[in-house]
Copies of this chain bind each other. A is one copy, B any other.
Amino acid sequence: MKSTVPVVAGIDIGATNTVMGLVDRHGQCYHRDTIRTGNYETATHFLDAMARMVLFAMESAGQGFQLEGVGIGAPNGNYYLGTIEAAANLQWKEVIPVTETMAHYFDVPVRLTNDANAAAMGEMLFGAAQGMKDFIMITLGTGLGSGIVCNGKLVYGHDGFAGELGHVIVEANGRQCGCGRRGCLETYASASGISRTMQELLTTSQENSLLRNQSKGSPDAKHIYDAACAGDKLALRAFDLTSRYLGTALANAVAFSSPQAIILFGGLAQAGEFILEPVKRYMEDTMLHIYKNKVSILPSMLPESDAAILGAAALIWEEKHIPEQHP
């Protein structure tokens, strides 16, 4: 008689694609599948397709697998309510009752949270934060997301919306942010932030740059990285400015929760030496003395292709396998 493998369906709802995989307790991912988020006119149709994707994967997997739960990461996902509310990049603007709807399809626990919180859980169970009880996850994409773990638990706040470090104001009357305010961290420290910085440098400086003769529009993070690798001074300066904003903001975040590590995830975080080292340096320079030389800046240890799925699945695995810990 073969023993069954307990798995959790990890689902990441993105603006373009919604991806799914069955994840075992060691972070091994099986039977990945994808649906196109944009193809569904109503949220109800979309959720039905999402549920069927899981059911189909379990059927394909056969009797060797047993479903233990469904974990979902989504933009503006609210852990307490199990809803997605007013997500800027999704086409459905109403409050979407995700976990309630999923409960019609599955008799196992269903949990939802935002993508950065899911990423934090993924790192804690399967990545760079294994064994840590206090750390901060920073996801550097188009914007800046964050997931904060204190005492081994995600910080959700009283309403489920804690952990929006991308919207800490770092520059009074600074850059216009999509949230309607000015000077938010994510307008400087993100893929779009470094692109704006580069564009400003190209406009205000006379210095030669590989990025001057690009086609129209601001140079994107990838091009800035390539230019920095080639020694382009303005591109290097763009990374330095980005790192300064992020490093000094993180010094303030440390005064809040005194984490063991801050983990950087996403395209920009892969710019390695151009970001990890200077962020650490600016953070150390700015930080209160009692925290100095205690906080690591680490790159994510999750494979980028599966990171979102692993994070979503970790929401369930964390409940099942991390016993309550008292310091």
Contacts and interface: CB of A to CB of B under 8 A. Distances in A.
A230 interface: no
Interface in A208-230: none
Contacts of A257: 148, 155, 157, 162-163, 256
Interface string A143-161: 0000010110101111111
- By size class, the interface of chain A is 35 or more
A15 to B, nearest CB: 19
B286 A162 contact: no
B258 A159 contact: yes
A195 interface: no
A127 to B, nearest CB: 17
Nearest to A260: B158
Contact of A150 (B79, B150, B248, B294): B150
Residue with the greatest number of chain B CB neighbours at <10 A, chosen from A133, A148, A153, A257: A257
Contacts of A252: 168-169, 252
A80 interface: yes
A288 B167 contact: yes
A164 interface: yes
A291 interface: yes
A256 B256 contact: yes
B165 A255 contact: yes
Given A133-B158, A155-B150, A157-B134, A180 B289 contact: yes
Given A169-B251, A257-B148, A324-B324, A159 B294 contact: yes
22 contacts: A79-B327, A132-B158, A134-B157, A134-B158, A148-B257, A151-B151, A155-B257, A156-B258, A157-B258, A157-B259, A158-B259, A159-B294, A161-B258, A162-B256, A163-B255, A163-B257, A163-B258, A165-B255, A181-B286, A252-B252, A256-B256, A256-B257
Interface of A: 79-80, 132-134, 148, 150-151, 153, 155-165, 167-169, 179-181, 248, 251-253, 255-260, 286, 288-291, 294, 324, 327
